[in-house]
Amino acid sequence: MIRVLVVDDDYHVARVHARSVGTVDGFTVVGEAHSGVEALDMVASAAPDLLLLDMYLPDFSGLDLVRRMSTAGGPVADVILLTAARDIDSIRSAMQVGAFYYLVKPFTHAALCEQLHAYAVWQRRLAEVPEADQHDVDDLFGLRGARPRGGPGARPLEPTMAKVLQIVTEATAPVSAVDVAKALGASRPTAQRHLADLARNQVLELVLTYGATGRPQHRYRPHPR
């Protein structure tokens, strides 16, 4: 079983990521941390195999966390960065500290699960090769980070749909098309179209609620798979 620590300063986002991990066979969440110091303590106590790590933490950066793990003398977990940081310096630094992969927020449930599957394959391959020739080395490096294979959620989302997903993911409760349209600065039909597409691809879940009139109201939340 691959043990995962989720590190994100946003409690709701951390919970969404943890739910995603829980849907993938062979993975278990050993905790959620919301600061760098908390993450270091949990790395020492829970010894996770993998960190799902945000770049922006309240005390120091995710990259600083990786560097501190490396110099602490204790267990060093592998890292998949889940971050809104898009600048090349951050990406280069993530590669330099040995991050397994780098997912740019917002991303889909399917995209995260694909990287978890890739990590599991990589771990199994490492266990199978006690001593590597060049072919094995090429194979191991090639397994680092899955590439999108197509299908729902595998391709990057177009900007408006990505923003809709971000609005729903960051909400503290299921939201309606009216709520999303207001936050998006767009019309309700535009918001509804993107919400319906995300629900159809099982990125979001449609929740029916009933008001005083008895008519169902459509609200959306991240898919709990």
pLDDT tens column, 124-175: 877 877 777 776 777 666 666 655 444 444 455 567 877 888 888 888 889 9
Residue 1 has pLDDT above 70, yes or no: yes
Helix then strand count (H, E) for the chain reads 9, 7
Domains in the chain (CATH in brackets) are: 2-142 (3.40.50.2300), 159-222 (1.10.10.10)
Q: What is the pLDDT of residue 146?
A: 52
| Range name among 2-11, 110-119, 136-145, 202-211 with the lowest pLDDT average | 136-145
% residues pLDDT > 70 (the chain): 85
| CA-wise closest residue to 199 among 106, 103, 109, 104 | 109
Decide: residue 147, CB within 10 A, 0-12 exposed, 13-18 middle, 19+ buried.
exposed
* Distance (Å, whole) CA 200 – CA 220: 12
Bridge pairing between strands 2-7 and 50-53: parallel
Residue 10 has a CB neighbour count (10 Å cut-off) of: 14
pLDDT on residue 47: 92
User: Rounded to whole angstroms, how far apart are CA atoms 8 and 204?
Assistant: 20
Count CA atoms within 13 Å of residue 141 on its CB side: 8
pLDDT 10s digits, 12-24: 899 999 999 998 9
| 106-115, 155-164, 196-205: range with lowest mean pLDDT | 155-164
Residue 32 reports pLDDT greater than 60: yes
